[in-house]
Amino acid sequence: DQQVKQNSPSLSVQEGRISILNCDYTNSMFDYFLWYKKYPAEGPTFLISISSIKDKNEDGRFTVFLNKSAKHLSLHIVPSQPGDSAVYFCAASDDTGNQFYFGTGTSLTVIP
Amino acid sequence: DAGVTQSPTHLIKTRGQQVTLRCSPISGHKSVSWYQQVLGQGPQFIFQYYEKEERGRGNFPDRFSARQFPNYSSELNVNALLLGDSALYLCASSLSGGGETQYFGPGTRLLVL
């Protein structure tokens, strides 16, 4: 049972434009959400997080939006750069934090 | 500062064998979690340990076991290997494991033939 879903396996964006990666979840008990970036042959690298008490969190070019009523979060990257090309995973945990649930990933390609 | 380290980086085993994977957390982190990532999927949670105690266990068979040592490093053991155990095994550490950001190591790539 996939509790965190990323329905777009891939996304291509021109350099300088905005990249929007989407993630949906089903468990209303999730209260902490994260985005990770993964390059081939490396472990996931933490990018940005948001707790359920907020609806937006920014860190430089990266912004995560959380819509609790829709059980949806998105990651905006602006402007997109070729170095952003990677697989992006969203993850969620409940208040115990004992287990993180990951989506299946979205492969982002930023075209120079 | 050193990040999460894992050893070995790659491993080839045959069906029925046993394997031990190792992980050293970021200095100061007391919680370690293990994940299995099969090609094309996201990481799947296996275990979380904090202060040498198991805090959480994912939906994996009893062939999978783990432990955490007093220095907070951890081992993941898999017995009676199956072809389907071929995957990238990721270790992540966090300060206390309670809903905090987890930082991942580079993983161990296990191939079962």
How many CB pairs below 8 Å do chains A and B form together? 64
pLDDT of residue B43: 94
**Where does the pLDDT of residue A52 fall: very low under 50, low under 70, confident under 90, or very high at 90 and above?**
very high
pLDDT digits (tens, 9 = 90+) for B56-106: 899 999 999 999 999 999 999 999 999 999 999 999 999 987 778 899 999
pLDDT digits (tens, 9 = 90+) for A11-26: 999 999 999 999 999 9
Shortest CA distance from A89: residue in chain B: B42
Nearest-Cα distance to chain A for B91, in Å, is 9
Shortest CA distance from A44: residue in chain B: B104
With b for 16 or more beta-carbon neighbours within 10 A and e for fewer, the A47-77 pattern comes to bbbbebeeeeeeeeebbbbbeeeebebbbbb
Three-state DSSP state, A82: helix
The full length of chain A comes to 112
List residues in chain B touching A: CB distance below 8 A.
Answer: 4, 6, 33, 35, 40-45, 48, 55-56, 58, 90, 92, 97-107
pLDDT digits (tens, 9 = 90+) for A82-95: 999 999 999 999 87
Report the Cα–Cα distance between both ends of chain B, in Å, rounded: 37
pLDDT digits (tens, 9 = 90+) for B11-59: 999 999 999 999 999 999 999 999 999 988 999 999 999 999 999 899 9
pLDDT of residue A95: 76
Nearest-Cα distance to chain A for B86, in Å, is 15
Interface test with B, best of A64, A98, A106 (most B CBs within 10 A): A98
Question: What is the SS3 assignment for chain B?
Answer: CCCCEEECCEEEECCCCCEEEEEECCCCCCEEEEEEECCCCCCEEEEEEECCEEEEECCCCCCEEEEECCCCCEEEEECCCCHHHCEEEEEEEECCCCCCCCEECCCEEEEEC
**Where does the pLDDT of residue A66 fall: very low under 50, low under 70, confident under 90, or very high at 90 and above?**
very high
pLDDT of residue B1: 62
In percent, the amount of chain A with pLDDT more than 90 equals 87
CB within 8 Å: B55 and A98: yes
